[in-house]
């Protein structure tokens, strides 16, 4: 994500059977030393991406793999996708951000249901509760194709303003409304010039079809 030429990260599994089924339970004794890693036990789940992220999910998305999907901004899934904290039945704790990110996405009540019960939900229910952004047709890695299409759309927008608005939303989650509004305004002031340029392009006829005007 430090690559200035890359504007969006798409995260997916290697096949249609699974996005990620989490850590190897046979090696769970190695978990303790990884708890204090600043980047997170799974490698980057405690790091904040400076750019938009999209998870393309087919098949099993469980335990730490579920937490990886929650790390992303958006989630696209095929009907085969299954989400759940199945480590509940083995007494393994959630340590890659699941307890913090899930309630921010679906609300405290639904998050408690999934965290406490460890039940597995299908793509349709995940979409209904706002966990999944979009469910696409099955087969041919349609989830990846759609995620890449979405990524191209995001990459075409003027980046400074989009990233500023994303930052205001994410950083404002822990603030009071008044502080969040002030933070939004402060970040917005940095993008006023970009907005003026974009408005001028629109006035000149650019983007009238709904396409991004890109910068």
SS3 content of the chain, % helix, strand, coil (to 5): 50, 10, 40
The neighbouring-strand residues paired with 57 are: 77
- 67 flagged as catalytic: yes
What value, to the nearest 5°, has the Cα angle with vertex 63 and ends 59 and 64?
100
Active-site residue identified among 67, 122, 134, 197: 67
Grouping H, G, I as helix, E, B as strand and the rest as coil, residue 82 is strand
HEC assignment per residue over 157-212? CCHHHHHHHHHHHHHHHHCCHHHHHHHHHHHHHCCHHHHHHHHHHHHCCCCCCCCC
Rounded Cα gap, residues 24 and 7, in angstroms: 32
Q: Are 61 and 19 in contact (CB under 8 A)?
A: yes
The neighbouring-strand residues paired with 18 are: 60
Active-site residue identified among 39, 87, 122, 134: 87
The neighbouring-strand residues paired with 84 are: 62
Tell me which residues are annotated as active site.
67, 87
């Amino acid at each position: 994500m430090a690559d200035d030429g890359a504007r969006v990260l798409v995260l997916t599994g290697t096949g249609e059977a699974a996005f990620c089924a989490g850590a190897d339970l046979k090696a769970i004794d190695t978990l303790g030393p990884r708890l204090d890693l600043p980047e997170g036990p799974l490698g980057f789940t405690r790091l904040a991406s400076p750019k938009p992220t999209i998870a393309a999910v087919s098949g099993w998305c469980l335990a730490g793999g579920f937490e990886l999907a929650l790390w992303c901004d958006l989630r696209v899934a095929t009907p085969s996708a299954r989400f759940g904290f199945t480590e509940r039945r083995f007494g393994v704790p959630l340590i890659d951000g699941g307890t913090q990110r899930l309630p921010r996405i679906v609300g405290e009540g639904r998050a408690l249901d999934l965290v406490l019960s460890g039940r597995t939900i299908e793509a349709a229910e995940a979409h209904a509760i706002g966990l999944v952004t979009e469910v696409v047709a099955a087969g041919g890695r349609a989830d990846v194709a759609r995620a890449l299409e979405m990524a191209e759309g995001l990459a075409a927008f003027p980046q400074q303003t989009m990233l500023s608005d994303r930052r205001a939303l994410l950083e404002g989650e822990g603030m009071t409304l008044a502080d969040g509004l002030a933070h939004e305004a402060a970040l917005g002031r940095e993008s006023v010039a970009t907005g003026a340029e974009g408005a001028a392009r629109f006035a000149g006829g650019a983007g009238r079809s709904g396409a991004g005007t890109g910068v």
